[in-house]
């Protein structure tokens, strides 16, 4: 079981440079853990692609549906108060944006504060570095 950041989930629902890699990861370990607000980040990423004319409305709508189906089968970290408290600490010690601190905070809550040996998937370099510093094994090694 591994924690998945939204940046690693988006290539599962729309074809991107990292799609082949993430498809391999989910086959290798289909037990996915996500933050409760991951769906918001996925929809945000898809809509940004539509606004940038990199994705059609039809493809984005289908991708949202696929994301919903994937997220229905995941383990969800939903303890908002606990994640929020961890995220505030993370913002003080790592150069993260708020949403990334919440993702990493959720991963740390899932790990019950002991991430050593646990895996996390992210395609965000800044988040990957912070996750490694917190003790996660980040895949891929960015």
pTM, entire model? 0.94
Taking the C-alpha atoms of residue 104 and residue 35, their distance in angstroms, rounded to an integer, is 9
* pLDDT value for 140: 79
What pLDDT does 61 receive? 97
pLDDT tens per residue, range 96-135: 999 999 999 999 999 999 999 999 999 999 999 999 999 9
For residues 22 and 120, the answer to whether their CB atoms sit within 8 Å is no
Backbone angles phi, psi at 29, to 5 degrees: -150, 95
The confidence score (pLDDT) of residue 119 equals 96
Structural domains in the chain, sorted by start: 2-139 (3.40.50.1010)
Q: What is the pLDDT of residue 44?
A: 97
Task: Check: CB of residue 119 under 8 Å from CB of residue 26.
Answer: no
Q: What pLDDT is attached to residue 139?
A: 87
Residues of the chain with pLDDT under 70: 142
The kind and range of the H/E element at 133 are helix 125-134
């Amino acid at each position: 079981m591994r924690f998945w950041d939204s940046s690693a989930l988006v290539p599962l629902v729309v074809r991107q440079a990292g799609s082949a890699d993430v498809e391999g990861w989910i086959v290798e370990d289909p037990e996915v853990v996500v933050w409760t607000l991951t769906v918001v980040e996925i929809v945000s990423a898809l809509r940004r692609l539509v606004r940038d004319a990199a994705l059609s409305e039809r493809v984005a709508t289908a991708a949202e549906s696929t994301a919903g189906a994937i997220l229905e089968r995941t383990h969800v970290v939903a303890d908002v108060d606990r994640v929020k408290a961890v995220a505030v600490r993370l913002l003080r010690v790592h150069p993260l944006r708020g949403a990334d601190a919440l993702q990493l905070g959720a991963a740390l809550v899932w790990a019950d504060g002991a991430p050593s040996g646990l895996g996390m998937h992210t395609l965000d370099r800044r988040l990957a570095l912070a996750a490694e510093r917190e003790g996660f094994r980040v895949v891929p090694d960015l």
